[in-house]
Structure 1
């Protein structure tokens, strides 16, 4: 690889406005498509599209009013699965089957227990009638309970009469919610626009009914004590209707304008103290750690595990109750660091991570603090979505406050580089500790300044937002180790931001969109008033977007990010199955680890040289092959190579390395390229030990010598082919004339004709491969599999062809990537 290359793209005002709306989606798409880091400079962080695929939606309070008796009503734009209250309301159906929309999102975030508890209710009492509501625990959601309310379901275009008949039922559903809140002493509840989504109740009338019901409930003095009612939605139209109804019924808001911040308990600082680090949202807050409403709270304790020692630990003990002290005495250390895990008990969290750190005078104290924070993050990422830290080490441990701020932020930044799941991380500072607040704020400001410096490689910053000033031009700064990838990323950016009323994105991974994805497309279509159409014809799929140019660009970037996620999910599943076919991890005492997903994760960690891997409250020492759960029980783990010895290839199972024209593979590739009249810019050798073992096994089965063939691909699929081999989704030809499989050509010239010109790409990408053809026959566009050789439907041809230069296989294990040739564009077609 060449030295790191950097590029700066200045943005016109209209382009900056587009990226302000979909910056997170843009940065993620650039990273997945081109392996480039994109840093947005001098832009306000908007995130207004609220995509579940484009990062964390920051809580935004739009309206608030305080009624008599301590009742607060507020309107929020937020993701209900992350909103921090005592209870969230789910828009349920009569059978409590949470299979779509908000119900599916809450059930998925809360874990399988949500559906189990719901099934238990149905089994005991039968269906929940329209207008009624029931209560269940919250599972993994950052709240205590879920209120499942059944609102009326209308036809897609309801008549006036149908709406009039449904309105009282919606009123009853809201009333049932409020009665449950009062009966169960719930201090805060989040209510969405019930029935307005998949159930088709008009959004404006829905908002009116909800707000009027709250007012009547309050006027009849049915609320008891202080209570917060949050009207929460993640789509802009619903938020605006709720805000309109609240202002009309309760009067103007008691908050000035709109603001973003944390919910309850702790209060967030300005946006300068909140930023995105990859999939991690780091936020600085002031408050009491014991009042945090998150999945995990971190505590720092002494080696003797006495929770009454230290201000923070004592405060956590007082609120959680004595059971937390009893439990911690029974716990064993995590195998990797000094971390004890207990339940949250009376705290507003699912778990507490109790950490033991060294005093400042210890020579390894800083390293220990760094490791503790990093391991807490890694542990939380395996099943949780939010974690809150106090300022660890400033008390009896003797650290300077600036040291704590630097070490803790360093650990989060390191974790954010490679973390694949979304995690909210909060640093919670006691309100009176102004020096600690300033230390954290200064650390964050310094890092944001460094993110814009060309001399610093900040790969973990996905979005470096900063207040725009009149003298600072909004820009996108790209970092990459490849000059070719850098050029592709910049050209893609220019194209995505170019005004156009219609844009077509071609990517066959559109077929893997799930229900959540299609609902999000509908939401984008409504919010931005565009037309979105999916298509799949002649083996090629994608999405066409039509509308106002700036809105089309916004939606196109969001769609590209959604496709990147679908693409990565597909590739990860293929990777798990491939690794599971050649090497397998198992444990007799914990049989469920022998799944493709967990086995592959253990193997990748093992090849990378990691000492430990943690998942689902278990920790595996990869060196000693020992598994330890949080209760200290130990079990032996086995690693079995199923085909041949399986060894690390540069700390992975695949690699891309520079290839010269003097190497054998390089000579062959150069000869083929020269014959086609193209100019070679770069060549890379592609190696994948898992795929090679499967390929050689198939070679023995087919008793066939491989042919050297070629495939032309798009830039974004080069690394994926090295990672999991050739897939028909990665490189569909312009027309599938010979069957629905994986296409190759015997010449580079044939590959150039088989795959159309990639209009906006800066280079031509050709992959040379060894391909097992086996027994072949003439193909047809109708074939989804090769035809049978005889009457036995299981005995089929191995491939299809045009009997000239085009070949089609139907298994990725019949082809082995050999090298990637990057060529300059020319007039050649």
Structure 2
């Protein structure tokens, strides 16, 4: 990895990112291929798109035959109960945290119902609760409860006063449950997110309030299920701790997390250990199904994911992009070739995957590999899952693996200052491995005690479970193999968090937004009380947001992510069509294989060296060129190259490779950039074998040599151009004077004038792409053109391009241009 860029956040900025942290992280990844890690920020209450949790029931007990209370890790917007509780404010404006997430998931009617309540009864006081219909949520009612808000560094007196109000709020919720005959209700850790109430104290008060309500016969003998539901691991653990300690003290000498419930564990299993600030859990399961921040994978020296059962399982679940990312990292100039490679989770239910390549078969290598994963995870994450490393191709004995991995966690826990939850995930059929880990965690080899909570230690344990980083400054950290990408991500973030009552997001992919996207924009407008306007004029489109500065920043980040998703959907469709034009997969007995989207998936898998792909009940073997249907019949699969041999390019069909500028650029080209006052920072060679074949076919048609032309682009489109070629949506000029097409300039200086500096004012670098362009027969352009003009009045015989004074060139077919080099220049030396 290159140098790490960080931004310390003031409280106002941290509050903005708490509301939309998921969309922020996704946008940074999509725009800059960069990983954003938020430090010292609450996980709960994130608004926007994130990984969907599967409902995980951690613990359950009964207060009586009629009342059951249980602890769940789940997404409250999807949790299946009759009513969910919303952490609301007095005005019922659902503009942050959990309230925002529920309002978005439930649709605009949630806010309308809430506004109607305010008009009727006025503000909802702290400690009170009201209910409304649930809109599109999978429940019938939302109970809007107003919990107390405290300052980040609250005094004991402030906490004592707030505790009474929180107890009252829970009682108000339960009273509505009884009055409305609600059979089941989901209650989150009210006030513990944006309202700053301590998580451990919150859990204690909620459980005690439920217990007291029951003891005072508040349920009147009615059957009620109370679910304590949160989507972040620290809150779930606190709820389980409080529920066990207060309602069922006899249970607290057993498993703490409940993560292993439902699995066949050995008797007397010491399946949880506390090692300083690190909590270690043992569980049975599949590593690729883990729902944690980080999943660990073991990878071969050649960085291929087709070797080893763990790698194969992770690759199959994550999709082909995870292998693409690894190879792109390998080809990067900043790649160090070390033993730990970090990628995004893609289709996995995690934020990152740590691919560890052990240096040798020694115990020290295994110990160091585990330690490095822990050290890296502790820098910004709260949970990590390991498989049993080394028992496959490396040939370690299972008891040795258990000892080495457990000791590595214990030693790390002695010095680690932040809280980290670690899972050892054992394949369900591997009873010997499970037993080895279980014995190791019970034995005296590790200097850590099994988690125990006694009645007289409840308070001290709760204090120990607090986040140690609570008083540290919130920061955003950017990680990437490319230093330029990190700096662009940092500058973009600084700009997005600057206070502004009006912000415009320029992106021509606004024209691809669908009905659901526009419904989402409407809900954002209602939730944040902002005005949102879409525009498309003079070939340039985007969205303008107007409102209060903090709300504008929140909505702008959500809009950026939405537009990034639209451009990725567009790029994937283009990628599918390009691949289908040059190579096709087919099967006489299974015609669905020849569909463009299936054919493209199979081709990318083939290029990546993946042996099998599964589609519904069909298994396609790319190695043996067969498909097994749902009836068990095996059929032959064919791969047809349309224009000649089509082979892999670094396990993909495209690649960006750093090159030595002196080796790849003639002196006259260097002079062009120097004459413009540009200092070249980096040069990358862009290759795309699919585009090259299509370009060659067009060159035969045009029958004229291509011209070397230039295009200036934004940072977020560099990789897309390498993937799918030039598109008019990627780099529209300030004015489309010569037609609605793809613009190029014959000079670098002309490219800077064509794409004006103010369009890229927040970027740290100037990005110029050098291309071979088939201009062929050309004519004079005009603004109304969407195709080249016809020659001599024949509509079927058209010019190949239009131009202006041999300086500006416009083509209307992206296959007439082939990207060759990306030249990144330093703006600090630009004239």
TM-score, reference length from structure 1:
0.59
Partner of 1:48: 45
* CA offsets 1:701-750 (integer angstroms, 9 cap, x no match): 22222111111111111111111110111100001111111101111121
Rounded Cα–Cα distance in structure 1 between residues aligned with 2:672 and 2:540 = 28
Partner of 1:516: 516
CA contact (8 A) 1:88 1:190 kept: yes
Partner of 1:320: none
Rounded Cα–Cα distance in structure 2 between residues aligned with 1:659 and 1:403 = 42
Partner of 2:292: none
Rounded Cα–Cα distance in structure 2 between residues aligned with 1:759 and 1:554 = 21
Partner of 1:778: 780
Partner of 2:272: none
Judged with a 3 Å threshold, the aligned counterparts in structure 2 of structure 1 residues 675 and 228 are, in CA distance, closer, same or farther, namely same
* CA offsets 1:423-452 (integer angstroms, 9 cap, x no match): xx997999xx8997999x999xxxxxxxxx
CA contact (8 A) 2:679 2:825 kept: yes
Partner of 1:823: 825
- Equivalent residue in structure 1 for 2:66, among 62, 66, 70: 70
Partner of 1:589: 589
CA contact (8 A) 2:133 2:142 kept: no
* CA offsets 1:645-679 (integer angstroms, 9 cap, x no match): 01112222111223334445554532432343422
Judged with a 3 Å threshold, the aligned counterparts in structure 2 of structure 1 residues 800 and 646 are, in CA distance, closer, same or farther, namely same
- Mark the runs of 5 or more structure 2 residues left unpaired by the alignment: 85-100, 119-130, 144-172, 193-206, 213-225, 242-254, 268-284, 290-303, 320-345, 351-383, 390-396, 410-422, 429-433, 449-465
CA contact (8 A) 2:788 2:799 kept: yes
Partner of 1:724: 724
Rounded Cα–Cα distance in structure 2 between residues aligned with 1:556 and 1:406 = 46
CA contact (8 A) 1:725 1:815 kept: yes
Judged with a 3 Å threshold, the aligned counterparts in structure 2 of structure 1 residues 397 and 626 are, in CA distance, closer, same or farther, namely farther
CA contact (8 A) 1:655 1:686 kept: yes
* CA offsets 1:449-501 (integer angstroms, 9 cap, x no match): xxxxxxxxxxxxxxxx965343x332222222222222212211221222222
Partner of 1:112: none
CA contact (8 A) 1:687 1:818 kept: yes
| 2:2 equivalent to 1:5 | yes
Q: 1:77 Cα shift?
A: 12
Partner of 2:200: none
Judged with a 3 Å threshold, the aligned counterparts in structure 2 of structure 1 residues 27 and 679 are, in CA distance, closer, same or farther, namely same
Partner of 2:789: 787
CA contact (8 A) 1:586 1:593 kept: yes
Partner of 1:674: 674
Q: 1:782 Cα shift?
A: 1.5
Cα RMSD for the two superposed structures: 6.0
CA contact (8 A) 1:611 1:622 kept: yes
Q: 1:613 Cα shift?
A: 3.0
Q: 1:814 Cα shift?
A: 0.6
| 2:24 equivalent to 1:26 | yes
| 2:469 equivalent to 1:468 | yes
Q: What SS does structure 1 have at the residue aligned with 2:550?
A: helix
Judged with a 3 Å threshold, the aligned counterparts in structure 2 of structure 1 residues 651 and 260 are, in CA distance, closer, same or farther, namely farther
* CA offsets 1:239-262 (integer angstroms, 9 cap, x no match): xxxxxxxxxxxx997399x99746
Partner of 1:480: 480
- Equivalent residue in structure 2 for 1:801, among 794, 803, 806: 803
* CA offsets 1:88-142 (integer angstroms, 9 cap, x no match): 99xxxxxxxxxxxxxxx99xx9xxxxxxxxxxxxxxxxxxxxxxxxxxxxxxxxx
Rounded Cα–Cα distance in structure 1 between residues aligned with 2:500 and 2:56 = 31
Partner of 1:254: 210
Rounded Cα–Cα distance in structure 2 between residues aligned with 1:288 and 1:823 = 51
CA contact (8 A) 1:191 1:229 kept: no
Q: 1:777 Cα shift?
A: 1.8
* CA offsets 1:38-62 (integer angstroms, 9 cap, x no match): 2222x22345353136x4479899x
Q: Report matched runs for 1:124-135 at 5 Å.
A: none
CA contact (8 A) 2:499 2:553 kept: yes
Q: 1:217 Cα shift?
A: 7.0
| 2:237 equivalent to 1:269 | yes
Partner of 1:228: 184
Partner of 1:492: 492
Aligned residues: 601
Q: Report matched runs for 1:372-771 at 5 Å.
A: 372=309, 375=312, 467-470=468-471, 472-628=472-628, 633-663=633-663, 665-667=665-667, 669-757=669-757, 758-771=760-773
Q: What SS does structure 1 have at the residue aligned with 2:710?
A: strand
CA contact (8 A) 1:60 1:261 kept: no
- Equivalent residue in structure 1 for 2:15, among 17, 22, 29: 17
Rounded Cα–Cα distance in structure 1 between residues aligned with 2:55 and 2:555 = 22
Rounded Cα–Cα distance in structure 2 between residues aligned with 1:489 and 1:386 = 24
CA contact (8 A) 2:71 2:227 kept: no
CA contact (8 A) 1:289 1:390 kept: no
* CA offsets 1:177-213 (integer angstroms, 9 cap, x no match): 9xxxxxxxxxxx733669xxxxxxxxxxxxxxx9999
Q: 1:770 Cα shift?
A: 0.7
Q: What SS does structure 1 have at the residue aligned with 2:21?
A: helix
Partner of 1:241: none
Q: 1:566 Cα shift?
A: 1.5
Judged with a 3 Å threshold, the aligned counterparts in structure 2 of structure 1 residues 626 and 797 are, in CA distance, closer, same or farther, namely same
Q: Report matched runs for 1:361-380 at 5 Å.
A: 372=309, 375=312
Judged with a 3 Å threshold, the aligned counterparts in structure 2 of structure 1 residues 392 and 47 are, in CA distance, closer, same or farther, namely closer
CA contact (8 A) 2:70 2:228 kept: no
Q: Report matched runs for 1:173-188 at 5 Å.
A: none
Judged with a 3 Å threshold, the aligned counterparts in structure 2 of structure 1 residues 742 and 87 are, in CA distance, closer, same or farther, namely farther
CA contact (8 A) 1:788 1:796 kept: yes
- Mark the runs of 5 or more structure 1 residues left unpaired by the alignment: 90-104, 110-147, 161-170, 178-188, 195-209, 237-250, 274-283, 292-298, 301-308, 312-337, 340-348, 350-366, 409-424, 444-464
Rounded Cα–Cα distance in structure 1 between residues aligned with 2:642 and 2:629 = 27
CA contact (8 A) 1:21 1:46 kept: no
CA contact (8 A) 1:192 1:231 kept: no
CA contact (8 A) 1:768 1:818 kept: yes
